[in-house]
C-alpha cells in the first residue's frame, strides 16, 4: 500500500502580484490528490482577492497570513513530508526559517533563478530554465524546463492554449512562459522525484 504523505503548499496572490502562484500551487495540489496524497493549500496575500479566486475556481484552501512559525507549527501537527513555497518573496521571508533537520523538506517553485538556499528541490518550469541551474547551488534536486510544467486539471482537460491563472502579475512573464501551451505533456516527474518522494517512485 502506498504511503499517503501530507504536503503543505504556500503561495500568495493579489491585485499587484496576480494569481499565477495560486494557480500553480493549486495545480500541484490536484496532482498530489490524484496520486493519493494529502495537499494542504495555505494561501495568503490580499485575502479578499485570494478568497474570491478560490471560490471562482473551486479551490479548497486555508486563507491567511501564514508566517514561518505558523507554517512550522502546522507541519509538525500534520507530520508533513514537505513544504512547498511558490514565489521569491515567500522564499526570502520563509525559506531560511523552514530549513533544518527537524523540519520537513522545503521545495521551491521558481521562475527567475537565484535561489541559493539548501532546499530539497527547485522546480522551475519556464522555457530555458536549464540555463539557470547554476543559480540554485544549494538545491539537492533541480527540476527544470517545460516537462515539469504544472497546470490545473481544468487546463489539462480542455487541452488548448489557456492560462491556468486567467491573469498575470503586472511586470512578470511567468504566466506566458510556464502556463500557456498547446496540450503540454503532463509534468510526470514533478511530484515523483523529490527526496523522500511526494508520490510514487
pLDDT digits (tens, 9 = 90+) for 105-137: 999 999 999 999 999 999 999 999 999 999 999
Question: Mean pLDDT over all residues of the chain?
Answer: 80
Residue 70 has pLDDT above 50, yes or no: yes
Q: Categorize the per-residue pLDDT at 169 as very low, low, confident or very high, splitting at 50, 70 and 90.
A: very low
Residue 176 has pLDDT above 70, yes or no: no
Average pLDDT over residues 24-39: 94
Residue 191 has pLDDT above 60, yes or no: no
Residue 3 has pLDDT above 50, yes or no: yes
- Which secondary structure element, helix H or strand E, spans residue 8, and what is its range? strand 6-13
Higher pLDDT, 188 or 146: 146
Q: Categorize the per-residue pLDDT at 38 as very low, low, confident or very high, splitting at 50, 70 and 90.
A: very high
Q: What is the CA radius of gyration of the chain?
A: 15
Residue 199 has pLDDT above 80, yes or no: no
Sign of the dihedral through C-alpha 157, 55, 53, 28: negative
Say whether pTM exceeds 0.75: yes
Q: How many whole angstroms separate alpha carbon 180 and alpha carbon 173? A: 11
Residue 180 has pLDDT above 90, yes or no: no
Q: How many whole angstroms separate alpha carbon 170 and alpha carbon 121? A: 27
Higher pLDDT, 153 or 114: 114
Amino acid at each position: 500500500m502506498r504511503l499517503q504523505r501530507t504536503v503543505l503548499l504556500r503561495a500568495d496572490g493579489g491585485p499587484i502580484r496576480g494569481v499565477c502562484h495560486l494557480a500553480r500551487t493549486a495545480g500541484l495540489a490536484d496532482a498530489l490528490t490524484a496520486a493519493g496524497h494529502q495537499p494542504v493549500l495555505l494561501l495568503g496575500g490580499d485575502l479578499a482577492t485570494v478568497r474570491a479566486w478560490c471560490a471562482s475556481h473551486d479551490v479548497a484552501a486555508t486563507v491567511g497570513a501564514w508566517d514561518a512559525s505558523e507554517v512550522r507549527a502546522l507541519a509538525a501537527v500534520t507530520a508533513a513530508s514537505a513544504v512547498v513555497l511558490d514565489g521569491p518573496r515567500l522564499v526570502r521571508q520563509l525559506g531560511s526559517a523552514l530549513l533544518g533537520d527537524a523540519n520537513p523538506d522545503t521545495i521551491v517553485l521558481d521562475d527567475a533563478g537565484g535561489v541559493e538556499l539548501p532546499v530539497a528541490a527547485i522546480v522551475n518550469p519556464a522555457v530555458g530554465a536549464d540555463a539557470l541551474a547554476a543559480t540554485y547551488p544549494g538545491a539537492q534536486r533541480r527540476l527544470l524546463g517545460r516537462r515539469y510544467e504544472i497546470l490545473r486539471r481544468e487546463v489539462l482537460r480542455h487541452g488548448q492554449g489557456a492560462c491556468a491563472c486567467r491573469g498575470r502579475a503586472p511586470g512578470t512573464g511567468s504566466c506566458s512562459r510556464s502556463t500557456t501551451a498547446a496540450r503540454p505533456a503532463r509534468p510526470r516527474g514533478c511530484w515523483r522525484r523529490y527526496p523522500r518522494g511526494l508520490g510514487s517512485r
